[in-house]
Amino acid sequence: MQKTILWEIVPLNQPTITKNCSKCSTKCTFITTGNFRINANQSKVDVWLIYQCRKCKTTWNMSILSRVNPTSIPPDLYRKFLCNDEELARKYAFDANIHAQNNVNLDYEEVEYEVSGDIIRLTDLNESIQVQLRSNYPMDIRVDKILSRKLGISRSSIKRLGLCGKIIINNEKEIWKTTLCNDLIITILP
């Protein structure tokens, strides 16, 4: 049976957003504080994720829940909002849909990441191997960058191996044009 290994892409920080800062009076980079703000009054609850201008620390609240009935929020989720659950805050910080609803775009430029899983040495490869890519967070990373890092060869070498059919990706796209998404399987031939 063909050997399959898993590479998991783990972000080390979070995407930023660029928007007008009222205090700086110009477009600025805002970073997530990882904190939620909750406003609960009688029958309605609002929840925001708080961002901060990198320069002047002015805050901006990104709406997550707006005027919802408190009973409609699962207690476990509400508890996580209250205690600024790190993983939940990270999940929202990567959520492009919520950002779009707030009229801001995510900028992945500064996101750094680790790729866990075995390194492959092409020179030691004597049979084909499958690599499955997995990420719990959507990230705008080119697959050839990940391969370059894990195989220890340049991106131009990855492209050449792709053209020669030595590296094949299951989405039928060209490997050097593919960005990270789940369910990507890469076959590497000796």
- Choosing from 9, 17, 28, 184, the residue that interacts with Zn ion (CB under 5 A) is 28
Q: What is the CA radius of gyration of the chain?
A: 21
Angstrom distance (rounded) from CA 134 to CA 112 = 16
Would you count residue 24 as binding Zn ion (CB under 5 A)?
yes
DSSP-based three-state secondary structure for 95 = coil
Which residue's CB is nearer to Zn ion, number 21 or number 141? Answer: 21
Give the distance from CA 181 to its chain's centroid. Answer: 10
Which residue's CB is nearer to Zn ion, number 23 or number 44? Answer: 23
Which residue's CB is nearer to Zn ion, number 56 or number 77? Answer: 56
Q: Least separation, in Å, of the C-beta of 52 and Zn ion?
A: 9
Number of residues in contact with Zn ion under rule CB under 5 A: 8
Residues 6+ away with beta carbon under 8 Å from 78: 70
Q: Least separation, in Å, of the C-beta of 104 and Zn ion?
A: 15
Which residue's CB is nearer to Zn ion, number 48 or number 94? Answer: 48
Q: Are 92 and 35 in contact (CB under 8 A)?
A: no
Long-range contacts of 18-21 (CB under 8 A, 24+ apart): 18/104, 18/105, 18/107, 19/60, 19/104, 21/53, 21/55, 21/56, 21/58, 21/60
Would you count residue 53 as binding Zn ion (CB under 5 A)?
yes
Choose the stretch contacting Zn ion; rule: CB under 5 A; options: 16-24, 42-50, 104-112, 174-182.
16-24
Give the residues lining the site for Zn ion (CB under 5 A).
21, 23-24, 28, 53, 55-56, 58
